[in-house]
Amino acid sequence: MTVRMLSIETVVPETVIRQEDVTRLFAGQPGMTRLGSRLVRSAFDGAGVATRHTVLPELAEAAARASHAPNAGPEDDRERGQATLPRTPHGEPTGDDAAASPFVDPVTGHLLSPGTHARNQLYTQNARELFVAAGRAALSGVGPGITAADVTHVVTVSCTGFFAPGPDVRVTKDLGLPADVKRVHLGFMGCNAAFPALQTAATACRADPDAVVLVVCVELCTLHLHVRNDPDTVMGNALFADGAAAAVVTARDVAVPGAALELVDFETTLAPVGEDELAWSVGDEGFEMILGTYMPRIIDDHVTDALAPLLRRTGLSVADIPQWAVHPGGRSILDKVESRLGLSAEQMAPSRAVLRDAGNMSSATILFVLARLLQTGTPGHVAAMAFGPGLSIESALLRLLPAAQR
């Protein structure tokens, strides 16, 4: 039985933030020390990110203003980077800038730190739309061989917010899926959660060859940015972004417009160290991320052992696999994986391109990388991996089937 991803579609919010702008915004916040501001510039400049997307248009506006502020130089005093909004003669904000934002002070343009309730409200409003948009796009991308009425299972994924009835219900109702569709939501698992979602889909298809599974990942990471001087927070601010991705998985023998990805095998492991280096918890002012500086080194030490069972079962070696999809958790992580496994710059290019263009969108990110590989249509094996709290390493062996081999 061949289980395939017939389509992968990605969706991002309209608002784009440029890394150079948001660097100055965070470095110039009044709570930042000189050392903290220097850390911001170093981390942001070295993150490998050029642009990101956010559901917060006010964040992009504040970043753009900070970048063009006359006192936005790198070594000004505590007033540097305090971008101000256009004002009336009475000193009040003008136009759309007068609208209240829980994230940006309308008078000073400084970043605020809203409570978890306010952040989760924004998650609920925006995530609902993105879950449905990504799911609809994935179903449309399959072609006429699969319709909404054919979907038997829905698997939704997110770690950046909560609401109930949940995303699985929203997707089912808004896409007009059958009322008896089987639903699963994977919550709070982190950056590698797309792998258990795809494995759940593959298991359903192997149990029922007629099953059609819609997998949807949505993450709104920018809702949990904070202004702090500690390295973990700074690194998170430098990397995380918003995005959504969805895939249709089935064992049905249906024609699709383009290439497909066969789901061959999966593997998961917990590294013996690193539990404290990557963590995600609910705080009073949004979710709290621990992104330890030792995480790339831990991944470097354990990535080979993590892949060994998968390679052993399939009879392949690293050298036998021409295409790789590595979760771009940060440039240093990609550097370590590339070096340890002896991969080429070309093999790492799709992962680095997603990091550059869209940042780290947690669970959705690996689907962005796989979507790029799928668009190339280059046949052959694909190894995919991602890292999450635990420190957990999820991996999968896929096979890209060109359109002629559907």
* DSSP state letters, 13-61: -SEEEEHHHHHHHHHT-TT--HHHHHHHHHHHHTS--SEEEES-HHHHH
Whether residue 83 contacts residue 93, with contact meaning beta carbons closer than 8 Å, is answered with: no
Residues 6+ apart with CB under 8 A from 341: 303, 304, 307, 318, 324
User: Rounded to a whole number, what is the distance in angstroms from the first to the last CA of the chain?
Assistant: 13
8 Å CB contact between 394 and 382: no
% helix / strand / coil in the chain, to the nearest 5? 40, 25, 35
Is 217 a catalytic site residue?
no
Map 176-244 to HEC letters: CCCCCCEEEEEECCCCCCHHHHHHHHHHHHHHCCCCEEEEEEEEEHHHHCCCCCCHHHHHHHHHECEEE
Alpha carbon separation from 318 to 138, 148, 266, 381, 387 (Å, rounded) = 31, 38, 15, 11, 18
Of these residues, 191, 205, 217, 221, which one is catalytic?
A: 191
CB 111 within 8 A of CB 104: yes
Q: For residues 380 and 397, what is the distance between their CA atoms, to the nearest angstrom?
A: 11
Q: At 35, which amino acid appears?
A: L
d(C-alpha 332, C-alpha 47), whole Å: 8
C-beta of residue 300 within 8 angstroms of C-beta of residue 339: yes
Structure-token pair, residue 182: 């089987």
- Catalytic site positions: 191
